[in-house]
Structure 1
Amino acid sequence: MAVGRRDKIQSIRGSRIAIAIVIGVLLGCVFAFLFPHGFFTPNSPIQNPRIVTSNVQTGTSCESPERVNMLKSDMASLSDTNAGLKKRVRELTEKLRLAEQGQDNAQKQVMVLGDQHKVGPFGTVKALRTNPTVVPDESVNPRLAKMLEKVAVGKELIVALANSNVKSMLEVWFTSIKRLGVTNYLVVALDDQIVEYCKTNDVPVYKRDPDEGIDSVARTGGNHAVSGLKFRILREFLQLGYSVLLSDIDIVYLQNPFDHFHRDSDVESMTDGHNNMTAYGFNDVSDEPTMGWARYAHTMRIWVYNSGFFYIRPTIPSIELLDRVADRLSKQPNSWDQAVFNEELFFPSHPGYEGLHAAKRTLDFYQFMNSKVLFKTVRKDARLKKLKPVIVHVNYHPDKLPRMKAVVEFYVNGKQNALDAFPDGSEW
């Protein structure tokens, strides 16, 4: 019995040892699969550095080809994801920049132009008035850029558009400029006849490259149609970095106009006003009796700027003005360019509309004189007749050529009765 019990115990012990061996082998396989490099990573401080160095030098790898390909695939996927995130970040950054740009324009402009300052004592604070000019971009029109380098003086010049319909007035126009010794002026010819006419009379002339949409209007259009083209054509001059005195042809020059600009605004324009109130603005009271106690309403009024004579600097607001007017005129062909010009300059921001943030100055109406001021007031006043204006614009009268010639006779040749034969207004 004792012998049989011992044999049984030994058999059990042998089975346990066999089981332990099997479990050990299985654990070894599991650990070998899960930890092919052992329990310690390559960064482990107890790893033999000579083995690591050897592996790097020999280029051996313990990774299986399948695992290497899987890791490469993961890296490519992460790289694509990273690129997408970077693009998204750039888009969000740009949106944030644009949002911030519209929040505090004045403050940001001051920060760009100079250091921020504390507010000074009462009565001494002056807001920013002059917008910076754009960086010239000669790539927009290399041919025009070369011409302007020769014609312009101090990066500014007089520019006028003309076709064959105004040839007689054009002669009076450029003759008055030449008489003053002004050389920085340019005629933008809208047809070949004007090109030849200007060349014959030694007048700087520029003919645009063909543009069927514009050229059809330029060749056959009347005063208003041609006038609307100037906003599109002027854009290139400003992009090239030049200040432009835009001039209609029905103007007589009596002094150098560049001696009389302030250059502190985006636009300096002559006015259609004929006295201090109409030219520079006034408080006009509207009366509505049915409102009883509140029957009187105060309004601010000013007569429009003349879109046929204005000095415009190469700034962002100036170019935006040209773009706005040109866009509206292209969509509303029956609109008057002068009305659109003034609406874009003066209408404030309001619901559904973002106003133009442009600085503007009204020129002295006795220096930059319209024909209403001349024929209705000045010629009848002995004191005012002694003043010599910078220019006279025959904008209020359709008999333009004879009145232009009369202006030359009166102010240049000293003929005191040269203006007397004309009525104040026009005779229908």
Structure 2
Amino acid sequence: MTVGRNSSDSGIGIGIGNSSLGGSRIAIAIGIGVFLGCVFAFFYPHGFFIGSDSNRKSQSPAQCEPSERVNMLKSELVSVSEKNSELKKQVRELNEKLRLADQGRDQAQKQFLVLGENHKAGPFGTVKGLRTNPTVLPDESVNPRLAKILEKVAVRKELIVGLATASVKEMLEVWFTNIKNVGILNYIVVALDDEIENFCKSKGVPVYKRDPDEGIDSIARMGDSHAVSGLKFRVLREFLQLGYSVLLSDVDIVYLQNPFNHIYRDSDVESMSDGHDNSTAYGYNDVFDEPAMGWSRYAHTMRIWVYNSGFFYIRPTLPAIELLDRVAGRLSREPNSWDQAVFNEELFYPSHPGYDGLHASKRTMDMFNFMNSKVLFKTVRKDAKLSKLKPVIIHVNYHPDKLPRMKAVVEFYVHGKQDALKPFPDGSKW
């Protein structure tokens, strides 16, 4: 019994041992498989068939496209990039134009845009407001032909401009002869007919004749001085749009010095005055008396004699261009109006109910430097000290016998003939 049990026990023990050994072998096989899988996964991450996969990838449609197509796409990309850059440039230009246009709302906003930020007021007596408006962006597309001419003629973006027809040919010659004698290079004649254009070219005078225009041609044919004076406001606009400051000059003016050495350039408009003394030229308090009002019979008024629309310096600013537009617009609607009266009304009338005044800065020129013929013949020639002064220009605006007086001015100031001015009366005979 014992032996058998032992045998039986031994058999059972042997069975269990065999089972344990088989399980170990399976575990070892699984472990080896996992290990080998990790090894192959590490060294062959894309599998055993990488070559065939690569072949399939190399045959993808994108890589099968011809090189011409690739070059075409590159060219299109470059073209799109260039167009994008151009659009960005146009957007910047439009933004700048919009910024400048917004300045026209009111003077306060103009000043804010120029300063760029708000400022605190300084101590008493030290505060100074803005007097100089920013210039506009030049726009050569307005008149490319004129732009090329001005590039050669202008000095520091400014020049003298005179309009002329054949009816003032003799005065024009005195005008540009003295400009040359003074040494002024930056001037140009706007010819309103072929005769003046050819005359200027024959004399070596810079000249510009606009393209055919029915309005200009009709004015040139009429030869009316007031009509030509009204036309100049339209012509000047193109000069300002091109970014040039203009010293507008009638041809009944004798130049004795270079006017650009005597201009302040701190205002939109700088003009000579029709005034004949300090009060009339620069302003005065005029008292109006109305006895019927009793205690309040005296009313104080501020007065100034008008600016001369035949000689003024104008900068390329928005208020300046607005002034030209306003004057030209009114003269076209009011053909019987005098251009000088309209010029001053638009420049000086303040805003009031139903009317928005022009926010333009202005300066009156020194009346002894920029002298009108009333000051010369009524005062200066009779004064020993004043007659020794040499004006910058003399404008024969108060007298109809313009040419002989212009020649007399040249004789007196240029050639030193002391009695050259004596034969003329103070005023003129009708």
Q: Distance in 2 between matches of 1:300 and 1:104?
A: 24
| CA distance in structure 1 between the aligned counterparts of 2:223 and 2:351, rounded to whole angstroms | 34
Is the contact made by 1:344 and 1:355 (CA closer than 8 Å) also made in structure 2?
A: yes
8 Å CA contact retained: 2:110, 2:133? no
Out of 300, 313, 316, which is 1:314 matched to?
316
User: Aligned with 1:283: secondary structure?
Assistant: strand
For 2:121, the equivalent position in structure 1 comes to 119
Counterpart in 1 of 2:266?
264
SS of corresponding position for 2:420? coil
User: Which residue of structure 1 aligns with residue 345 of structure 2?
Assistant: 343
- CA–CA separation in structure 2 for the residues paired with 1:361 and 1:348: 16
- 2:136 aligned with 1:134, yes or no? yes
Distance 1:150-1:212 versus aligned 2 partners, 3 A rule:
same
User: Which of 171, 177, 180 is the matching residue for 2:179?
Assistant: 177
Decide whether the 8 Å contact of 2:114 with 2:134 is kept in 1: no
Judge conservation of contact 1:227–1:337 (CA < 8 Å) in 2. Answer: yes
| Matches of 1:255 and 1:163, distance apart in 2 | 25
Count of residue correspondences: 332
Question: In structure 2, what is the equivalent of residue 163 of structure 1?
Answer: 165
Q: Report SS of the residue matched to 2:189.
A: strand
Gaps of 5+ in 2: 1-98
Q: TM-score, normalized by length of structure 1?
A: 0.76
Cα deviations across residues 62-105 of structure 1 (Å, max 9, x unaligned)? xxxxxxxxxxxxxxxxxxxxxxxxxxxxxxxxxxx99x977764
**Structure 1 residues 365-424: Cα deviation after superposition (integer angstroms, max 9, x where no partner):** 000000000000000000000100000000000000000000000000000000000000
Q: CA deviation at 1:256?
A: 0.1
TM-superposed CA distance for 1:219, in Å, is: 2.5
Cα distance in 2 for partners of 1:112, 1:300 equals 31
Q: CA deviation at 1:220?
A: 1.8
1:222 Cα deviation (Å)? 1.3
Instruction: Please tell me the residue identity of whatever aligns with 2:426.
Output: D
Amino acid at match of 1:403: R
TM-aligned CA distance change 1:102 to 1:194, over 3 Å: closer
Q: What pairs up with 1:227-376 in 2 under 5 angstroms?
A: 227-376=229-378
Deviation at 1:108, TM superposition (A): 5.1
Deviation string for 1:17-43 (max 9, x for gaps)? xxxxxxxxxxxxxxxxxxxxxxxxxxx
CA distance in 2, matches of 1:117, 1:198: 52
Q: Secondary structure at the match of 1:237?
A: helix
Instruction: Specify whether residues 118 and 104 from structure 1 end up closer, same or farther in structure 2 by C-alpha distance, changes over 3 A only.
Output: farther
Q: Greater Rg, structure 1 or structure 2? A: 2
- Do the aligned partners of 1:239 and 1:314 also contact (CA within 8 Å) in 2? yes
**Deviation of the 1:427 alpha carbon:** 1.3
Aligned residues of 2:350 and 2:356 also touching (Cα < 8 A): yes
Structure 2 distance, partners of 1:352, 1:215, is: 36
CA distances 1:288-332 after superposition (whole Å, capped 9, x unpaired):
000000000000100000000000000000000000000000000
| Separation in 2, partners of 1:226, 1:102 | 29
Mapped partners of 1:223, 1:136: distance in 2: 31
Match of residue 207 from structure 1: 209
Structure-2 change in CA distance of 1:183 and 1:104 (3 Å): closer
Q: Which amino acid aligns with 1:321?
A: L
One-letter amino acid of the structure 1 residue matched with residue 339 of structure 2: D
Q: Which amino acid aligns with 2:204?
A: D
2:82 paired residue number = none
Q: TM-score, normalised by structure 2?
A: 0.75
The alpha-carbon deviation at position 198 of structure 1 amounts to 0.3
Whether the 8 Å CA contact 1:110–1:128 is kept in 2: the answer is no
The share of aligned pairs that are identical, in percent, is 80
Counterpart of 2:156 in structure 1 is 154
> Are positions 1:381 and 2:383 aligned together?
yes
1:409 aligns to 2:414 (yes or no): no
Task: Give RMSD over aligned pairs.
Answer: 1.6
Q: Does 1:425 align with 2:427?
A: yes
| Alignment gaps of 5+ in structure 1 | 1-96
Structure 1 residues 108 and 200, CA gap change in structure 2 (3 angstroms): closer
Q: Which amino acid aligns with 2:216?
A: I
SS at structure 2 position matched to 1:365: coil
